[in-house]
Structure 1
Amino acid sequence: MAPTITDKDFKVHHDRNQVTPFKDDEEEDAYTRYVTRYSDGTVKLRNPNIELMDQDILYHLALGNESHDLKEMFGDIKFVCMGGTPKRMDNFAHFIMNEIGYKLPAGMQLQDISAYSYRYSMYKVGPVLCVSHGMGTPSVSILMHEMIKLMYHAKCRDPIFIRIGTCGGIGIEGGTVIITDDALDGQLRNSHEFTILGETVHRPAKLDKKLARELKSLASADDPYDTIIGKTLCTNDFYEGQGRLDGAFCEFSENEKMAYLEKLREHGVVNIEMESTIFAALTHHAGIKAAVVCVAILNRLNGDQVNAPKEVMHEWQQRPQILVSRYIRKVLAQNGQLKSLLGHQGSIKSPRRFTFVQQESQAHD
């Protein structure tokens, strides 16, 4: 039987400077569930200030809980799929629409819900939300805060977040699909480091291992490429931070670079990217089941520059999307939801507030 968590336990664990260690993962999971979910499974925020605010503007998404009916627009969301570029998520939105049989009303087309933010792109395809997150941990962090708040305002029940991206492989050939088991920072710690009010805070960068295994099980023997599970290194820089020799600066030798990459490989690291630890840390802190699925666009042991032909890159980038779509189809089929879905694009509660949100977003274009 899973352990139960009480208000007394919450008070003991709530102070981040006086955290009582959990006995095991089961107790930690129970505690996380207690502080991040209401009894009906809807998302609860670890921020009491939000409930006291007259309105909450999701500034970088060009949305707000008073300008939009967020529950009407997003209350049915089960999957939030994220990728780096707006174009990639536009492509994925159209791809998943066909995969799950989602039907738009005649004469309608998918619209970028966050177009007026000029920062991120967002497309809703029935229970699937497709969002671009930009490049690097700061961009992902901004989006994640607002996406988690969106899940709260929309009263979504147990959403699943999946990052779909590209990476550099270590001893892994280009085109290989990699599902992240553990996300490690530049010092090989399974956590993400934050500076909050001048203090250093480490949050575990945990992804859902059961979800990773389930995704791996959906790889087909007929796929003309490998799908593997392994550790992912997350860096804050594309060049020096990843040991590249071709940046504007390089103060290490090729031998030193190769020794570093071999050290990573010995530690079980199979790929390098720039978003996994912040994605894992914030989803774990929010009690959200999450996974990272990337495709390697080169083997870093063979070089630093990405030089695969454009058409090859395009096909490679579809591979994680195919795997994720298989998972979404499976879950929807199990729930009896895999059928033609008539989508609606949401409603505006207050035209005046809606215009205000758009103007505020455009003011800092």
Structure 2
Amino acid sequence: MDTRQGACGVQRDAVALWTTGPGTAQLRTERLDAPADGDVLVRTLWSGVSRGTETLVARGAVPPSEHERMRAPFQAGDFPFPVKYGYLSVGVVESGPSLGQPVFALHPHQSRFVVPADAVAPVPAAVPPRRAVLAGAAETAVNVLWDARPQLGDRIAIVGAGMIGCAIALLARRIPGVEVTLIDVDAAKAALAAALGVGFAAASDPRPDPDVVIEASGHGSGLQVALRLAPTDGEVVVAGWYGADAVPLALGADFHSRRLTIRASQVGAVAASRRARRTTRDRLAFALRLLEDPAFDLLLGGTSPFTRLPDVVAELAAGTADPLCHTIDWSAA
């Protein structure tokens, strides 16, 4: 890593991932200026791949109407390409306030970065840095449950046993008296559900008779399953995002007679039920504390060194990427 003294202080080079076309990416070297007053310089330890959103980015499938709304906080470039994207980074403060503190940041995949001190959140001592990349998943799960508002003793069905669906299941199982069932097309996910302490049902024959239904698959077929499961006068809370894909639904049959509702949940804003009393920073700090539960390690998939990031982008675009949270090791950077 090159370190040089410049007019404004120490300058460092950083390695960053840029997605340059469908399934293609490059590691580029970028110059970092020394942090100004109120900034922190963070050396990345781990970053995480958010398969759902980053697959859409890798394919260039972010809808034009969402190019601005879907920008990551420290994204560079524009959709579709070239773009520096990502939002699950954990590192250690090398300069600025809280020197030596492990922190989480919504920053793209990059070996070092400079951001305002209030853009990082301290990682609790009981949370290992690699697990801390799941802060985004835990925060999304918190928001979804605030939107879904489950109650004591409810039966909760979650369609889609990916990273987000499993994070929702992990938190929902803590509510006294609830029964949580993960539903997925992949029967092999039954073992993961059992390890998480929740039930499992195949998407081809789901029978949980739920009070609360959450769709987290990111596929239109998953939303159709969720609608079949919803109780009369009930709703489906949609946590999955479909990008630019059209989602055909069969809304004939009993959709109207059962008076069903489809409602979106999105992590960009705090759920309406808590928005007046919680900030996004409050929500993130809460999510990081929840990660003290070692069961979250079950949501971590494989690990690659940062040099393999272009291959990971290719796998995302091809649909062969790790179904859970693939982590990137920056220790050799």
TM-score, length basis structure 1: 0.26
Higher helix share: 1
Question: With CA pairs under 8 Å and 6+ residues apart, which has the higher RCO, 1 or 2?
Answer: 1
Q: TM-score, normalised by structure 2?
A: 0.28
